[in-house]
Amino acid sequence: MNIGIVGLGLIGGSLGLDLLASSQGHNYVWGISRNPDTCKQAEAIAAVNIADIDIENIPDRILAQTDIVVICTPIASILSTITLIAPKLPANVIFTDVGSVKSAIVEPASKICQQFNQRFVGSHTMAGTAFQGISAAEKDLFQNRPCVVTPSNDIAAVEKVRSLWQSVGMNVFECSPEEHDRAVAIISHAPVMISASLIAACQAEGDQTVLKLAQNLASSGFRDTSRVGGGNPELGRLMAEYNQSAVLRSLHTYQQSLQEVISLIENKQWEELEAFLANTQRDRSFYVD
Ligand code: NAP
């Protein structure tokens, strides 16, 4: 396949690495990113065959053979990026994205693509690390991780996008943009805010001796609970901004749970607290191994 990747950061760079490593020469990958050094680095680590900051500098014969373009820029620039590059690409090309929200993207992106007789299928690759940029790109990032694709009347386009993600090891689920946004608010977007609030609450300790001691004693448990709160701030802001109502709904539900725990502790209801924790111990297995 001939694949374009726009936005050569953690997700775009990692995708390019896997597409070129696994294809035994069957994939050709061209890339676009904002920063010329990023383009050079992406070529140097073999995340792309060719990359440039301007689509005009990617040869026409390469663009003309493109099957799929994957937009891996921050959420706020996904639609403007499609608008910018769609006129340079052939009719029938399939666009997809990896953005962490889907309702704000799928319908407007589909409309832009229709103007050029092109197709759009939304995706969200549920894989990441706390790092960003091309230097954070890593092989096998997507292996055995879930990926969402959104439905379309264009069944062939959905199947092609599904195959792309399966080729890098992802487990693909199909759901509407609205269902996606509510589900990821619960397990991804609200947890970023909760984990960030935990870090902020630790830093609010006023006794400098205790604060320093806490920082020295923090170990694997704190590493787990603080990981997503210590990630890319721009990504966290965009999750809340573009998925506001679902994120607020999840945070209010969380607030009720936390209030319940506070009441149990204030009232010394130790048996009830243990029962609450026994339920959460059991229920965690519904989400992760
Ligand atoms: P990232 O590491 O910051 O990579 C994005 C890259 O896009 C930047 O490094 C930047 O590269 C480039 N870029 C920014 N604006 C651009 C533009 N207008 N045109 C072309 N290139 C542009 O971020 P990421 O974590 O890969 O996230 C990218 C997308 O993946 C987001 O939409 C996010 O919602 C989604 N996502 C992220 C995760 C995660 O955990 N990180 C998981 C799933 C999905 P240069 O400036 O260096 O050229």
pTM of the model: 0.94
What is the rounded (10 degree) CA torsion for 198, 288, 146, 14?
A: 60
Q: Which CATH superfamily is domain 2-175 in?
A: NAD(P)-binding Rossmann-like Domain (3.40.50.720)
CA atoms within 13 A on the CB side of 193: 22
CB 96 within 8 A of CB 68: yes
Residue 103, φ and ψ in degrees, nearest 5: -60, -40
Q: Check residue 25 and give its pLDDT.
A: 77
Collect all residues with Cβ–Cβ distance below 8 Å to 5 and sequence separation of at least 6. 12, 15, 16, 29, 30, 31, 32, 47, 48, 69, 70, 72
The CATH 3.40.50.720 domain(s) of the chain lie at 2-175
Atom of ligand 1 nearest to the CA of 97: 32
Q: Where are the alpha helices (DSSP H) in the chain?
A: 10-22, 36-44, 60-64, 78-85, 103-115, 155-167, 177-184, 190-203, 208-217, 220-226, 233-242, 244-266, 270-283
Task: Report domain 179-286's class.
Answer: mainly alpha
Q: Check residue 282 and give its pLDDT.
A: 97
Q: By alpha-carbon position, which residue is closest to atom 33 of ligand 1? A: 99
The CATH 1.10.3660.10 domain(s) of the chain lie at 179-286
Mutate which of 45, 100, 124 for ligand 1? The one with the most ligand atoms within 8 Å of its CB, which is: 100
The residues of the chain scoring below 70 in pLDDT are: none
- Residues within a 6 A CB radius of ligand 1: 6-12, 32-35, 38, 72-75, 77, 81, 98-100, 125, 128, 132-133, 136, 232, 235
What pLDDT, in 10s, does the model give residues 46-89? 999 999 999 999 999 999 999 999 999 999 999 999 999 999 99
**CA terminus-to-terminus distance, the chain:** 34
Q: Check residue 191 and give its pLDDT.
A: 98
Q: Check residue 24 and give its pLDDT.
A: 73
Q: Check residue 22 and give its pLDDT.
A: 78
Residue 94, φ and ψ in degrees, nearest 5: -105, 125
Among residues 147, 199, 163, the alpha carbon closest in space to that of 22 is found at 163
